[in-house]
Amino acid sequence: MSESNIKQKIWKQKSAPDQALVDVLRSELNAPKLIAEMLVQRGIDSSDKVKKFFNPRIGDMHDPFLMRDMDKAIERIHLAQEKNEGVLIFGDYDVDGTTSVALAYSFFKDKFDTIDYYIPDRYKEGYGISTDGIDYAKANGLSLIIALDCGIRSMDKIEYATSLGIDFIICDHHLPGKEIPAAAAVLDPKRGDCDYPFKELAGCGIGLKLAQAYSQVNGLDEREYLQYLDFATLSVASDIVPIVDENRIIAHFGLKIINQQPRIGLQKLIEVSVNKEELSISDLVFYLGPRINAAGRMDDAKSAVRMLIAENVDTANKYASELQTQNETRKLVDQKITADFQEIIANNSDLLKHKTHVFYKEDWHKGVVGIAASRAIELYYRPTIILTKSGDGMLAGSARSVKGFDVHAALEKCSQHLEQFGGHMYAAGMTMKIENLDAFREAFEKVGEEMLTPEMLIPKVYYDAEMDIASVDDKMLSIVNKMAPFGPANMTPVFFASGLKDDGSGKIIGKTKEHIRLNIKRDNDSLAAVGFGMADKLADIKKASSFEACFQINENIFRGNRSIQLMLKDARPTIDA
């Protein structure tokens, strides 16, 4: 991979916490000032909040019947049981969708005589509830569809199903439009008329709440639904939802299941994908999530569901290996697209002056354009859209954005050139006629010029606090680890330190020679540090009298030996005054 166009990131300290609250917390907890400051920064500013933060409890999960239409959903399920109706579990083809289907199918499969599941074909049917899926239900005598991670804007599809005598229960977490579908029940905390106290559940989380409500009404042991916290945790991690409130409870206990008693399918997927004793949320994001996603990107997402619900070793091995192979293929396709758009930039350096990038090639793989757009952001840090041919004179693509730029709002301003689009602030998808490409590219760049400031086009490293490198010890690592699971709204703490010196053993590492390993001098020892993608910084660090860095504190486990290691977010020579 060629060198990134990004030469230097901006380092910024997060907003200073209210010192009065910090002082109160320090007094109540007898905690170090640094820890009290980080907690207050995260909104954990009372002893009661601290207790809930460090000691998540299943009992603190919200009553599922606070969600609008939950009573209607349970009533409709009971009616289906009374009438011996067939049920179809329908979900999207990404991690959130496939885990949602795995959860709902596994939970309800012994509660109906006839039950099946359906994942739409990414290329033939596209995102969300599909006519083909409804027709499949009709052809197989399934008159109730439970749709997860989709459906909140599918008014026309719900009307079509109703005309065929098929009811829907929608379990979605996306923003609704002005109209709510006329389904038997619509579960979505983001409904304007829903008073559910936590709005940021993933789609699989909505499925979990449905299972919780059913268990409560029918007097089932809570383990009937809690056993699926692992599925819900995979969706929390991969769908990048805030890991606070109910999501923190889900992730805390779901990780325990994954690490201590993984179901056979996940166990086999872990074996082929990651060599670690204990997985974190970021491990789910970087190792398991991409492999589960690869099924829908490269072929049939049902493979992911079959792996998740596998009940024997042979089946688990078969589908875990299949996902691993598909992910390897996905990586090659991703690398090819990345090389192609880098060549486009190399042949037209004026594109580096643009505020936005819109790349198109007709033979790029539709299932990988979103990942490729993220790769372009890493390299050039511009709102990026990657498009490919989608048949019948149409293009399909994915958009990814930089911090502070609402790409969905930008697409709305260009909507006259689009056939369809949807998504949220930082990621979106769209289709357009091929003849509209040039006009769209021009319109999107114009919107970028209006909405983007120069600073928005420079990536930033945000750090929590400055610390003395001598303070990094087992006690500090233990406190940081207790703040996990980490993710949006509770990110892994990042620290800043200056006056650092390599002991002379710093070197470039990795198969691709892109990473560095340093040993940072301290009074009586040295501290290992690793920087991914920072090989170009090593020479300057070695030449400098000292350097400064933003870093996370990590535990490195190698051949059973545990040690503290810094994960560098960025590093630069200290500028002498």
Question: Residue 465 in contact with residue 539, Cβ under 8 Å?
Answer: no
The amino acid occupying position 438 is: D
Question: Residue 326 in contact with residue 299, Cβ under 8 Å?
Answer: yes
In this prediction, residue 576 carries a pLDDT of 64
Question: Residue 108 in contact with residue 80, Cβ under 8 Å?
Answer: no
In this prediction, residue 420 carries a pLDDT of 86
- How far is C-alpha 156 from the geometric centre of its chain's CA atoms? 29
Question: Residue 231 in contact with residue 206, Cβ under 8 Å?
Answer: no
Q: Specify the fold of 348-457.
A: Diaminopimelate Epimerase; Chain A, domain 1 (3.10.310)
Task: Write out the two tokens for 160.
Answer: 């079509």
Q: What is the DSSP letter of 360?
A: E
pTM score of the predicted model: 0.91
Residue ranges of domains in the chain = 10-15+461-573, 61-223, 348-457
- How far is C-alpha 486 from the geometric centre of its chain's CA atoms? 12
Top CATH class of 10-15+461-573 equals: mainly beta
Q: What is the pLDDT along the chain (577 residues), one digit of tens a residue?
A: 345 666 689 999 998 899 999 999 998 888 888 889 999 999 999 989 999 999 999 999 999 999 999 999 999 999 999 999 999 999 999 999 999 999 999 999 999 999 999 999 988 888 789 999 999 999 999 999 999 999 998 999 999 999 999 999 999 998 898 899 999 999 999 999 999 999 999 999 999 999 999 999 999 999 999 999 999 999 999 988 999 999 999 999 999 999 999 999 999 999 999 988 889 999 999 999 999 999 988 888 999 999 999 999 999 999 999 999 999 999 999 999 999 999 999 999 999 999 999 999 999 999 899 999 999 999 999 999 999 998 788 999 999 999 999 999 999 999 999 998 887 888 888 999 999 999 999 999 999 999 999 999 999 999 999 999 999 999 999 989 999 999 999 999 999 999 999 998 999 999 889 999 999 999 888 999 999 999 999 999 999 999 999 999 998 877 777 889 999 999 999 876 4
Q: Specify the fold of 61-223.
A: inorganic pyrophosphatase (n-terminal core) (3.90.1640)
Q: For residue 549, which phi and psi values (nearest 5 degrees)?
A: -150, 155
* Phi-psi label, residue 84: left if phi above 0, alpha if psi -120 to 50, beta otherwise: left
DSSP 180-206: ----SEEE-TTSTT---S-----HHHH
Q: For residue 420, which phi and psi values (nearest 5 degrees)?
A: -150, 150
Task: Write out the two tokens for 308.
Answer: 């998740």
Question: Residue 309 in contact with residue 101, Cβ under 8 Å?
Answer: no
- How far is C-alpha 130 from the geometric centre of its chain's CA atoms? 24
Q: Is 475 exposed, middle or buried (0-12, 13-18, 19+ CB in 10 A)?
A: exposed
